[in-house]
Structure 1
Amino acid sequence: MADRVPLDFDPPVRQIRALLLGVDDRDLAAPTPCPDWPVAALLDHLMGLSVAFTMAARKRAGVPGIDGPPPQPSAGHLSPHWRSRLPVLLAELSIAWRDPGAWTGTAQAGGVTLPATAMGAFAMNELIMHGWDLARATEQDYAADPRVLEVLIEFLGQGSAEGTPGLFGPRVPVDPEEDLLTRTIGLAGRDPRWRPPRRRPVPTRAATGA
């Protein structure tokens, strides 16, 4: 079909939107696999990247996150309306990359211009990685389409094993016999074994003797 696009953003977007339903306010300060980013900062980053990659797909310029580096994600910057706003931004991102025109020519985001196909792969990698980050941080299940992961493994494999500052950390060695998601996570510079610190249960009256 002439209108087919290389990658379908709908599945990872739907999964992140489902994960958001499992995020409790108490989770916002919890650590994530991204060093120094609590869940609130990760959500702020997801909001920013959703706008930036939507504008990249639409070939827009002159908006935050396009002509220059995006602001550093911050828990303090997270919109108080993130629960209603972020699902909308993610849906707009998915819709933008359904347009075959989004994959033609070049695209710009974060002050970087790339072939549109590479920018689309980069956007997909951001969704997959940060979806996994959010799932791990909030102790929810996560899965990804094997066909997408195969594309990302090829895409990430073209980068440096030492990582790219501001984008990817150094690769984490992973057994080549591991599943595709684990291999993708390692190539992106994350430790697939990362787990959040065990949370202490709130003492009951009986336990405290109160």
Structure 2
Amino acid sequence: METNTGSAREYGIGELLGRAVDGVLPVVRGISDGALADPTPCAEYDVKDLVNHLFHVVVEFRKLAAKGSVDFTGTPDRVGDGADWRERFAEAARELAAAWSAPGAEEGTAGTMDMPARTLGAMALLDLAVHGWELARATGQPEPPADAAVVAELARQVAGMASTARAMGMFGEPVAVPAGAPEFERLLGLTGRDPAWKV
């Protein structure tokens, strides 16, 4: 979906997810088996746990694009299911972007909480962007490019959901970032991540 409001372009969530996927896939493919037990900026997850979490988000949020039901009661060990987990992740991530690009995916509500569909798509986008950064930082790889359209969409969404997400334990307490920090670093700080984190 693409709409024009004056000179501003509103990107469809599917297109934004596609951009985020393009940035994350090189990071996922660059994770060595030897790095799977390493720590990440997300304190409760090591690298393997974080990949499994992101993999689960990708699979389940694809269902939400078709207004289907999801199951987050457990996180399958997809990394442990076979050495081809990187390519399986890539296939699932591309399917996620395609599902949210389908006609009607952003319309109406979805999920057990009947949230606006576009907001749910943006939640998947946030996970790709933030966890992609975490995985890159944890494994010493170049960070995915901070796509301006992706960051702008996430900045709008996080501004509206931060307090609720924090109360639900989805975000940590805000982390202060230097004045004049790039927008993506400010976004990381709002979600409780320290942009200066290093292994």
Could you say whether these structures have the same fold, taking a TM-score greater than 0.5 normalized by the shorter chain as the test?
Answer: yes
Taking only aligned residues, the RMSD between alpha carbons, in angstroms, comes to 2.3
1:6 aligns with 2:7: no
- Identify the match of residue 152 of structure 1 among 147, 151, 154: 154
Question: Aligned residue for 2:171?
Answer: 168
Q: Structure 1 CA distance, aligned partners of 2:52 and 2:165?
A: 27
Whose helix fraction is larger, Structure 1's or Structure 2's? 2
Equivalent residue for 1:189, pick from 166, 170, 192: 192
> What number of residue pairs does the alignment pair up?
188
Q: 1:162 to 1:6 in 2, by over 3 A?
A: closer
Question: In the aligned structure 2, how far is the partner of 1:70 from the partner of 1:49?
Answer: 12
TM-fit CA distance, 1:162: 8.4
The equivalent of 1:180 in structure 2 is: 183
- TM-score, normalising length: structure 1: 0.81
Indicate if the aligned counterparts of 1:162 and 1:170 stay in contact, CA closer than 8 A. no
Q: 1:95 aligns with which of 82, 95, 98?
A: 98
Unaligned runs of 5+ in 1: 197-210
Question: How far does residue 2 in structure 1 lie from its aligned partner after superposition?
Answer: 6.3
Letter in 2 for 1:34: C
In the aligned structure 1, how far is the partner of 2:186 from the partner of 2:180? 9
Report SS of the residue matched to 1:94. helix
Question: How far 1:72 sits from its partner (Å)?
Answer: 4.7
Q: Is residue 41–residue 78 contact of structure 1 (8 Å, CA) maintained in 2?
A: no
Q: Which residue of 2 is the match for residue 69 of structure 1?
A: 72
Q: Is the 8 A contact 2:27 2:136 kept in 1?
A: yes
Whole-angstrom distance in 2 between the partners of 1:13 and 1:42: 16
Aligned position for 2:66 = 58
1:105 aligns with 2:88: no
Are the equivalent residues in 2 in contact too, given 1:19–1:140 (CA < 8 A)?
Answer: yes
Q: Report the CA distance shift for 1:144/1:45 in structure 2 as closer, same or farther (over 3 A).
A: same
**One-letter amino acid of the counterpart of residue 119, structure 1:** L
Shift of 1:157: 1.7
Residues 112 and 176 of structure 1, relative CA distance in 2, 3 Å threshold: farther
Deviations 1:11-42 (A, max 9, x none): 21112111122111111000111112111111
Which residue in 1 is equivalent to 2:36?
A: 28
What per-residue deviation string (whole Å, max 9, x for no partner) do you get for residues 153-194 of structure 1?
121122219823341111112234110111111111111111
Report if the CA contact (8 A) 1:5-1:100 is conserved: no
1:71-101 CA distance string (max 9 Å, x none): 1576x97432412211111110011111231
Distance 1:153 1:195 in 2: 24
Report the residue type matching 2:166 in the other structure.
Answer: G
Map of 1:137 onto structure 2: 138
Instruction: Say which SS state the counterpart of residue 104 (structure 2) adopts.
Output: helix
More deviation, 179-188/6-15: 6-15
SS at match of 1:120: helix
Tell me the alpha carbon deviations over residues 128-156 of structure 1, each in whole angstroms, 9 at most, x when there is no partner.
01110111111111222112212211211
Q: Distance in 2 between matches of 1:78 and 1:70?
A: 19
CA distance in 1, matches of 2:56, 2:96: 11
> By how many angstroms is 1:69 displaced?
3.2
For 1:30, the aligned partner's letter is D
1:182-207: CA deviation from partner (whole Å, max 9, x where unpaired): 111111111111111xxxxxxxxxxx
C-alpha displacement of 1:5: 5.0
| Equivalent residues of 1:5, 1:103 under 8 A apart | no
| Partner amino acid, structure 1, of 2:29 | L
Q: TM-score, normalised by structure 2?
A: 0.85
